[in-house]
Amino acid sequence: MHVLTKLRILVSLMVLTLLCSVTLAVWSINQANRHIQRIDLAHTVYQNYLSLYAHTYELFKQYGDDLLIGTDTNLIDHQVTEIRTDIADIRQAIGAEIDLVGSEEIEELQALNTIEVRLNRLIFVLSEMSESDAPQSWMQLSQVLDAEIDMNFQELIDAALEEESKELIETRAEVAQQLFFYRSLAGIFALIAIVITIATVVLLSNALSRPLARLMSGARKIGEGDYTHRIESTGQDEIAEVAHGINTLAERVQRTTSDLSNQNVQLEKAVKQRTLQLEQLLKEAQEADSLRRSMLSDVSHELRTPLTIIQGEADVALRGAEKTKDEYRDALTRARNAAVHTTRIVDDLLFIARTQAGQPKLKREQVNLLDLVADTLSTFGPNVTFETVLQKAETSLDPVRLRQCLLVLLQNATNYGGDQVICRLDDSPDGYCITIEDDGPGMTEIEKKQAFERYFRGSNASKAYVGGMGLGLPLAKSIIEAHGGQIRLSDREGGGLVASMILPARPHLVAVS
């Protein structure tokens, strides 16, 4: 339940208690006024009866004086008028009591009527006696006074006065009882008001003070950066809703902060990775630049020899006396051979560069790989052994470039390996596999990793054969990769080196834009 709802209920109860108290006070005042009016009326009736009693005896005294000495009849008439006024006042007061308390006062009205009838008869009797001059009037007056007034009339007046006294006593007792009832109700309402006040204070303490303290403490911790802190919230009041909202906000901030932290970590990783890539690219660029310079130096060195030969042959042919046709033919032949060697070096370098750029130029045709390998091996004579179980190996490739690749690997095996060189042709999961192995000293792991770099020559190659440029294996790798295959070097069991070439059975499809 919401705090405002609880407060509204408590305020409503307090207002209801206040209204009940006011209603009780108003009702008590009305009841007190009613009892005061009743007591006043009873007093009035009582006083009027006393006045009636006094005026009646005064009237009888006047009649006695009239019989003895004779008096003014106006005095008797005045007393009669006073008596009738008293009766009228009593009747009016009794009527007011009947209007105030109900029909229970009708008996008093009947008793008054009885007294009035008795008085009227006595007045009539006394009037008759006062008009008669007979001596026996004294005796009759004495009898009337003794029988009618002293006994009957006195009893009626005493009864009326006693009735009014009892009514006064009952009214006072009723007033006292109602006052006790009013005090009890006032105490009950006061107790209810105290309970409601205490409940309001306790509610405000439980529903506002402590929850607000927890809310402020939690908000302060979250404001200080502790986004993992959660404000304890119970119930479904406004403070719980505010706490839930702050917890949700803290959770979102925590999630956002975590995401930002993760993004920063990922960004740092990406920057670090990119830095490593850039460093690698820089290193590769530096190596490429070093290779470029080395290549220019090697190319210059390699090209200088055939160009020097060409220039020397031309100088020899042009210098001195006229030469014979055979001498000129020999000089031109040697110059042509040097030019062909230069062209082959330039062509190999261009093929490697185009392959690395992803633009190799191949002249594919359908050939029998078995015949191509056997024909290439024939130039080496019995120094190379050929082993295969295949009867036919049809595939599409550039026979010139593949032959060039086989020659490179076979020349390396015969020049740098041992006396035994074996070439095998087998099936592979994707096509065909050509392996060339020798029983020579082999290569170290570092040399095998660098063997396909341009102008790299292993220690064994540098010692055994000084005429190479270090372009053979890079050229072979470019040729095999241009056909969509793979080439790798591995150690031979028992010592030596194994060069494996894997060629696909059909050309790979290349997406172009």
Region of poorest pLDDT, from 127-131, 138-142, 198-202, 285-289: 138-142
Whether the predicted pLDDT of 70 surpasses 80: no
| pTM of the full structure | 0.41
Higher pLDDT, 321 or 111: 111
Whether the predicted pLDDT of 512 surpasses 50: no
How far apart, in Å, are the Cα atoms of 321 and each of 310, 318, 330, 333, 487?
19, 8, 16, 20, 55
pLDDT averaged over every residue in the chain: 76
Please, are residues 14 and 196 in contact by the beta-carbon 8 Å criterion? yes
- What would the pLDDT profile of 421-469 be if each residue is shown by its tens digit? 899 999 888 889 999 998 888 888 888 887 777 666 666 655 554 455 6
Where in the chain are the domains?
A: 3-210, 363-504
Distance (Å, whole) CA 499 – CA 487: 7
CA dihedral 261, 265, 268, 274 (to 10 degrees): -130
Distance (Å, whole) CA 219 – CA 201: 25
In this predicted structure, what is the pLDDT of residue 81? Answer: 85
User: What are 475's two structure tokens?
Assistant: 């050229």
Whether the predicted pLDDT of 485 surpasses 50: yes
Region of poorest pLDDT, from 119-123, 131-135, 331-335: 131-135
User: What are 469's two structure tokens?
Assistant: 């440029």
- The strand pairing partners of 486, in sequence order, are 502
- What would the pLDDT profile of 176-224 be if each residue is shown by its tens digit? 887 788 788 778 878 888 887 887 777 766 666 677 777 787 778 777 7
Please, are residues 318 and 332 in contact by the beta-carbon 8 Å criterion? no
Please, are residues 212 and 188 in contact by the beta-carbon 8 Å criterion? no
Residue with tokens 């070097």: 489
In this predicted structure, what is the pLDDT of residue 461? Answer: 55
Closest listed residue to residue 454, CA positions, set 381, 384, 351: 351
Q: Can you identify the CATH homologous superfamily of domain 363-504?
A: Histidine kinase-like ATPase, C-terminal domain (3.30.565.10)
Whether the predicted pLDDT of 145 surpasses 80: no
Whether the predicted pLDDT of 484 surpasses 60: yes
How far apart, in Å, are the Cα atoms of 29 and each of 25, 99, 146, 360, 405?
6, 19, 49, 120, 129
In this predicted structure, what is the pLDDT of residue 423? Answer: 92
